[in-house]
Amino acid sequence: MVEKAVNGAGYCSYLNGKEDENIAAEVFISQLIQNGADNNLYSFLLNSNHKDCTSSCYDCLRDYYNQKYHNLLNWRLALDLAGLANDERFELNFRQEYWQNFFNGDLRTILKNKDNYTLEEDNGVFYLNSDVRRILIAHPFWSESFIERILQSSGADVDSKYINDIIS
């Protein structure tokens, strides 16, 4: 974290955790985890007023200055990252409440309208099925070797696609 101004106000030094290692967690992470701060950003993102946002919108991650990256921004992935920053044992899969809501709602509609795929869950792993293809839905934080292991146990002729490529 760096301040642009030569004689900055010192916020970056304060927030970088050198003086107090809990500061960054209190300022940033507690906003983004379930049961973190009261009425935090996590609650806002899962609120019914934000239910139509499939990846990012101007109420959450998008603004004029990051428009080059709008297609890459996904608030659910941001919550995954915050969860991991908060706890190294955080599971990076699609079992979190915010992923489950999405998989059981908007994603099914998107898939049906897009390529007439159906969604299948098998032992906590999700696949897209059509008449001719079966595709593993991969999390972008999974390693290639982890994806390869799942593919090997998924049977023949299964491809993988990252969730952000499926919904963009």
Minimum distance, C-beta of residue 162 to Zn ion, in the bound complex (Å): 19
Find, among 117, 82, 112, the residue nearest to 98 by Cα. 82
Minimum distance, C-beta of residue 98 to Zn ion, in the bound complex (Å): 12
Residue 1 CB coordination number (10 Å): 9
Query: How many residues does the structure list for the chain?
Result: 168
Minimum distance, C-beta of residue 6 to Zn ion, in the bound complex (Å): 35
Minimum distance, C-beta of residue 55 to Zn ion, in the bound complex (Å): 8
Q: Distance between CA 92 and CA 16 in Å, rounded?
A: 26
Residue 75 CB coordination number (10 Å): 24
Our CB check for Zn ion shows the closer of 62 and 108 to be: 62
Q: Distance between CA 33 and CA 37 in Å, rounded?
A: 8
Residue from 57, 78, 81, 92 in contact with Zn ion (CB under 5 A):
57
Are 143 and 167 in contact, with CB atoms under 8 Å apart?
Answer: no
Q: Distance between CA 144 and CA 142 in Å, rounded?
A: 7
Is residue 32 close enough to count as binding Zn ion by CB under 5 A? Answer: no
Residue from 41, 53, 166, 167 in contact with Zn ion (CB under 5 A):
53
What is the signed CA dihedral for 117, 121, 122, 124, rounded to 10 degrees?
A: 140
Is residue 60 close enough to count as binding Zn ion by CB under 5 A? Answer: yes
Is residue 37 close enough to count as binding Zn ion by CB under 5 A? Answer: no
Is residue 72 close enough to count as binding Zn ion by CB under 5 A? Answer: no
How many chain residues touch Zn ion (CB under 5 A)? 4
Minimum distance, C-beta of residue 53 to Zn ion, in the bound complex (Å): 3
Q: Residues in the site for Zn ion, rule: CB under 5 A?
A: 53, 57, 59-60
